[in-house]
Structure 1
C-alpha cells in the first residue's frame, strides 16, 4: 500500500477550527502495510466534498459481508417499486448451516423479506443474507452494482461454511473509494432515491458490530435512541479469515464523514488480528475527534 495521504486543512462547523491530519490512522495503516497487509482507505468530508484521507482506494480487495450493501439497496429498490412484497415469507436454507448468524439458532424456519434485510444489515446474519439473495437474484444485484457506479466491486457469492474449488473464492470484492462513495450517497439520499436510501440507512442502524470503527464511538449497539451527543453513525462491516472491512458515515456537530477501510492480512495469530483491529480503532478515534 502507498502511504495514505491526509489532506491537512482547517474547517469550521459549529465552534472552533481543527486540523485534520488523521495522524493516528496513517501511522497504524503504514505499520500494517510494512508488515505485509494489503490496506485500502478512503475518507470524504461530506460538508466540503473533499477527500481528506486516501490510500490504494482504487484497489479491489475481499470485503466479506460489506458486499451485502448493494443487495440491501436492490431489495429496498424493489420494495419501493412494488415488485417485491416486504412481507413475503422466505425459507431458511436446508442442509449445511450458514457459518454465522442468529437465525440458524432460531426455531422459526421462515421470515418476511423485510426481517431478512434487518438481520443481514444490522446483524450480518449469513443465513438471512443467503435467503435474501435467493429472493432478489444475484444477476439483479450485479446490475444494481453497475447502476450504482461501482465497476471494481462485486458480490460474488453468498456465505458458505466451506469454499470448494468450484466456488467463488470470496463473498465479495470492493474498493474503499467505491464503498465510501456509496455510503455518501446513502447519506445524501441519492442511492437510487430518498425512500430507498432512508430504508437502507434504517436497516444499517444501529451498528451492532462494535469491534472495528464503532469501538471508538462507545455507543450502545442495541439502542435505537439518540446517543445524547449529537452523533449519527451507520455502517456495515465485513469479516472473514484474513479480512476486515468497515464502511459507513459518521457525523457530529463539527463534521460529517463517509469512510471505508479494508485490510487483507495474514491471520497468523491473535496478535496479528489485534493490530489490524487497532487500525480500525484509530480511524474511529480520528473520525470522532474531527466530527464532534
Structure 2
C-alpha cells in the first residue's frame, strides 16, 4: 500500500481563503490520516474566483480507481456530438471480459445495451463491465489523445477493470492529481471541456451518480434523485474505490458560492477502523464545503 513519501512526511500543507472558513476540521482529519501513514491529496477551488481555497499535496499523482473514468466519458460524449459514435450502437456484454467484483450490468437480464446506456451505467454506478465496453469500443489511444488535448499531464486511465491484476497489467486502473481533476470538473460546469454540448452531456451523466457516501454524504441529497434539488443545490460528482484507495471529485454550488473539489486518500486497509477513518475525513470535508457554499 502507498504511504507518504520522504518528501511528504511533514504535516499536510495548508492554504485557505482569507475571510472564509479555513477548513480547520478537514485539515485536522487529513493530518491525522497522514500521521497514521496514509497518503493524502486535496484541492478545492472557488468557481467564481478560480482561486484555491484549500490545497495539500495536490500536485502528487496518486491512484484514483474509478474516478479515472471521467476522461473516457468525455471522449464518448465528444464522439456522440461529432457523429463518430452512434449513441444507439449495441454492445454485447459477452464481447467484453467479465468482471465479477462489482457492477450492475452483470445482474441484468439484458445481454446487450446501447453505448448511451453504458455511459449512464459507468457514470451512475461505476459499472466495470460498462466501462470496459466503452473503453474497448473507443480505444485507449483516443482516450489518451483526449486527455492530452484537455491538458491532463498527471491524470490518466491506464487500464480496464479486472478481477485480478497480473504482473503484466498496469498496477492501477487510473492515476491522477487532485489539482488537475478539480480543474477538469470546474471546466465541465463552465462549459469549457471540448464544447458546451459535450460539457453539458458529461455533467448530466455525473449528476446521476448514486454514490453519495463520501463527501456527498453531507449534502443531504437523495442518492437516487438529486439532479434537480428542491433547495437549488447544484451537485455533480464521481468517486473511485479500490483496496486502500478512496477518491472523490465533484462540484458543489449553493446560494453563496460554488466549488470544485477533489480528495484522494491512499491508506492501509487493515481493518474496518482504518477504512472508516478514511471515510470520516471525506465527510468532514463535505460538511465544511456545505458551510462554505451556504
TM range (shorter): over 0.9
Distance in structure 1 (CA, Å) of the matches to 2:139 and 2:209: 26
Partner residue of 2:239? Answer: 237
Judge conservation of contact 2:99–2:161 (CA < 8 Å) in 1.
no
Query: In the alignment, what sits opposite 2:293?
Result: 291
Partner Cα separation in structure 2 for residue 95 and residue 138 of structure 1 = 16
**What residue in structure 2 maps to residue 9 of structure 1?**
18
Q: Which residue of 1 aligns with 2:121?
A: 119
Secondary structure of the residue that 1:6 maps to in structure 2?
coil
Aligned to 1:138: 140
The answer as to 2:70 corresponding to 1:69 is yes
**In structure 1, what is the Cα distance between the partners aligned to 2:227 and 2:211?**
17
Report what 2:56 is aligned to. 55
Q: 1:235 and 1:180 mapped to 2: Cα distance?
A: 11
In structure 1, what is the equivalent of residue 46 of structure 2? 45
Residues 176 and 260 of structure 1 are in contact (CA less than 8 Å); yes or no, is this contact kept in structure 2?
yes
| 3-state SS of 1:239 partner | strand
Does the CA-based 8 Å contact 1:57-1:176 persist in structure 2?
yes
- CA distance in 2 between counterparts of 1:104 and 1:171 reads 20
Measured against aligned partners, the alpha-carbon deviations of 1:183-206 in whole angstroms (never above 9, x if no partner) come to 000010001110000000010113
Question: Unaligned regions of 5+ residues in structure 2, if any?
Answer: 1-7
Question: By how many angstroms is 1:102 displaced?
Answer: 0.5
- Alpha-carbon separation, structure 2, partners of 1:43 and 1:181: 9
Please say if residues 123 and 208 of structure 2, whose CA atoms lie closer than 8 Å, have aligned partners that are also in contact.
Answer: no
Counterpart-to-counterpart distance in 1, 2:252 and 2:56 = 19
Counterpart CA distance in 1 for 2:143 and 2:40 is 26
**Count of equivalent residues:** 284
Mapped partners of 1:95, 1:144: distance in 2: 24
Q: Distance in 2 between matches of 1:63 and 1:151?
A: 15
Cα 1:196–1:275 change in 2 (3 A) is same
RMSD of aligned residue pairs (Cα, Å): 1.2
| Correspondent of 2:259 among 257, 260, 263 | 257
Partner of 1:86: 87
For structure 1, the residue ranges without an aligned partner over 5 or more in a row are 11-18
Query: In 1, are the aligned partners of 2:124 and 2:208 still within 8 Å (CA)?
Result: yes
| TM-fit CA distance, 1:227 | 2.1
User: What's the CA shift for 1:92?
Assistant: 1.4
Provide the rounded CA distance (Å) in 1 between the counterparts of 2:282 and 2:65: 16
SS of residue matched to 2:265 = strand
Residue in 1 that maps onto 2:168: 166
CA change 1:144–1:209 in 2 (3 A) is same
Partner of 2:28: 27
**CA offsets, 1:72-102, max 9 Å, x none?**
0000011111110000001214564342111
- 8 Å Cα contact 1:207-1:233 kept in structure 2: no
Give, in whole Å, the separation in 2 of the partners of 1:290 and 1:67: 27
Summarize the Cα distance change of 1:253–1:63 in structure 2 as closer, same or farther, 3 Å threshold: same
Deviation at 1:8, TM superposition (A): 3.4
Which residue in 2 is equivalent to 1:14?
A: none
1:207-227 CA distance string (max 9 Å, x none): 311111111012101115522
SS at match of 2:141: helix
Deviation of the 1:20 alpha carbon: 1.9
Distance, in Å, in 1 between the alignment partners of 2:226 and 2:25 is: 30
| TM-score normalised by the chain length of structure 2 | 0.94
